[in-house]
Amino acid sequence: MSRFAAPIAAQIWDMKYRLKEADGTPVDGTIEDTWRRIARALASVEKQPDVWEDRFYAALEDFRYLPAGRIVAGAGTGRAVTLFNCFVMGTIPDSMSGIFDMLKEAALTMQQGGGIGYDFSTIRPQGAEVKGVSADASGPLSFMDVWDAMCRTIMSAGSRRGAMMATMRCDHPDIEAFITAKQDSARLRMFNLSVLVTDEFMAAVKADGPWDLRFGGKVYKTVPALDLWNRIMRATYDYAEPGVIFIDRINQANNLNYVETISATNPCGEQPLPPYGACLLGSVNLARLVTDPFGPQAELDPAALDDLVRVAVRMMDNVVDASRFPLPQQAAEAQAKRRIGLGVTGLADALLMLGLRYGSDAAAEQTACWMKAIARAAYLASVDLAKEKGPFPLFDAEGYLASGNMVRMDEDVRQAIRAHGIRNSHLTSVAPTGTISLFAGNVSSGIEPVFAYAYTRKVLQPDGSRTEEDVADYAVTLWRQMHGDAPLPEYFVNAQTLPPMDHVRMQAAAQTWVDSSISKTINCPEDISFEEFKDVYLAAWDMGCKGCTTYRPNDVTGSVLTVSERSDTVPADAPPSGAEVVYLSEPLDRPAALEGATYKLKWPDSEHALYITINDIVIAGHRRPFEVFINSKNMEHFAWTVALTRMISAVFRRGGDISFVVEELKAVFDPRGGAWMEGRYIPSILAAIGGVIERHLISIGFIGGEGMGLKSDPKAEVLRVGDRPRGPACPSCGSYAMKMVEGCMTCADCGHSKCA
């Protein structure tokens, strides 16, 4: 196969990873230049950089070792971006000033391209007393809404909006609201949610016992544990969230349980991390290491695997020293523990090349064997690094070797660690590797099964247009090259037809030798019963997994990819699925002159009008918005209008479909009430600005008409003349249901009352 096995792989490299000048001129002429750039940057911290540059280049060549996307895009560029994918942020204090200090840290981290994870269990529940201000607490979910709004306005460095993970303990008094929070389609869209499930809770579930919801030593409520578990299960059955994290198991196995406690993970869940912990990822491409694929002597070359893992560990350890960090606390945490997460991709393809059916006992056994070989090579490589460069600063032999993970490690590895220390506190993790796997020729991602033998992806181009690309699985393509149109063997299975318990079996087999965790989605058929669905989670618990995430397609969740109907690569019984994957481009450059329009917006009861100017750029004959300015004589609005215009303009300059900006603005409601404008009830001045932008997008042909392409939002409903006006908006839940009850304004939906 060529360097790029498919056109889409070359497009991904060009749009996401290829180094270019500010004007778009390529610096990396070829993929070999990209590999050389990465190798040189990571070898620069070595005493013999020339020697290690060549070793690192050989590991990268032909996509054998795949650093995470942040490293591929950022290493050796001189740009002020982090090479770490994600972070768990500091513990949120239970105070207003502390909460907003954490929000600032989150914004700074996301600005440099890092995803973030937070545990919101530390914030007092809704209704709890706030001493000194004669008020009740609004609860952690209200502050999650603030984080969500922040994330929607900040674009991560590189090409994507930031991702966030929110966790909450199963004994927090607001856990029931947390479980159902995302069932409102307009809420918390930038978050993944996971419940921190304890051993004590699982015991109570199995015993059908009572469960206390408590905070700060006070029991707020007692519920049947099984009822709470069923609520979690029902939410993820219907809405695919929240996930489940077995937090006690994570802390018991943690190599550093003698110096840290974990209560959150990165957004995809493969890295449970302490406060300010950083997620550094890379993957060994198992599909490239199989000799005699589909032949009688097919095997994964053990010597090549051992050598590749050892070089990859050294490369990743060097990233700790070569990377920038958004916050000094993150740099200190990374230096103190030198945590890395080396994983795999192409596992399912490698199994196919050996004639093994994914999910079978033989495949699970082979997976465990490979993962143990990787763990041994990684730990021994880290011991060698400790001999050369010293162990990580917080290393303590007795504490380290007493962890649940290290107790089962081979004795020769334990003795080596005891004698020489170890350079990295953690070494293994399995990331989702979605884009990176496609970049490497569409090998199966992470430890997932082949999703589909062929499917169509829609790729967003720099000019805003979309192209459709047919993509075939790497192993299937190789089979076709060797066997032509011969039927695929029976052991070729995919995620569409695989029983859920086969997924669990594979996750558990891999987890045994992974010291962090695994990003794995267990695909469930739409018609799986609720009881069978719950059994999946109990099986994950019983088989030793550290967490469980499922996906069941339905009318709410939709499906994942568009499966091609080409008969030469897709079995007749492969079911289709829908939706698309979109890649954003680099920021658009500003020409010296732009065309635009200025709109006057007069908000009732405001002395001065707002003047909104939207300038457009012309690409391939099509106009698209590029920047926005808001001006007014009213200086009261100066700060927020400047902030708003800068954020919106940053989104516009990223290219692609930016109509979501209209949706977000039109969804904003003012608790003090909106206003009637041109025969419509507009819920806030920000919603009015969203309406102006929407009209401009219609006028230039960017969207077809009002509301087209936007999701419905119950908080952005429009009243027209003749409709019965709604009551004022409730400051607690946002519904327009405030009415006078016994002399006090009270919300008919949630019961909020200022007199209460």
Q: What is the pLDDT of residues 16-62, one digit of tens each?
A: 899 999 888 999 999 999 999 999 999 999 999 999 999 999 999 99
pLDDT at 415 over 80: yes
Which SS3 state, helix, strand or coil, does residue 45 take?
Answer: coil
Q: In terms of DSSP H, where are the helices of 390-426? A: 397-401, 404-407, 411-420
Residue 370: CB atoms within 10 Å: 23
Identify which has the larger pLDDT, 14 or 393. 393
**Catalytic residue positions, numbered:** 266, 268, 270
How much is the average pLDDT of 327-339? 96
CA-closest candidate to residue 228, choices 242, 211, 241 = 211
Question: What residues are paired with 246 via a beta bridge?
Answer: 197
- Put residue 244 in one of left, alpha, beta given phi > 0 → left and psi -120 to 50 → alpha: beta
For 94-112, b/e burial (b = at least 16 CB within 10 A) is beeeebeebbebbbebbbb
CA-closest candidate to residue 428, choices 270, 226, 614, 595 = 270
Give the per-residue SS3 of 427-460.
CECECCCHHHHHHCCCCCCCCCCCCCCEEEEEEE
Residue with tokens 């969203």: 690
pLDDT bracket for residue 11 (50, 70, 90): confident
Assess contact for 298 and 353: CB atoms under 8 A.
yes
Q: What is the pLDDT of residues 219-254, one digit of tens each?
A: 999 999 999 999 999 999 999 999 999 999 999 999
Q: What is the pLDDT of residue 562?
A: 45
Q: What is the pLDDT of residues 516-564, one digit of tens each?
A: 999 999 999 999 999 999 999 999 999 999 999 999 987 766 554 445 4
Give every CB contact of residue 380 below 8 A, 6+ residues apart in sequence.
310, 413, 416
Identify which has the larger pLDDT, 178 or 113. 178
Query: What structural domains does the chain harbor?
Result: 86-264 (3.20.70.20), 445-563 (no CATH), 595-725 (no CATH)
Identify which has the larger pLDDT, 694 or 460. 694
DSSP structure string for 355-368: T--TTSHHHHHHHH
Q: What is the pLDDT of residue 536?
A: 97
How much is the average pLDDT of 260-287? 95
Q: Model-level pTM?
A: 0.76
Q: What is the pLDDT of residue 511?
A: 96
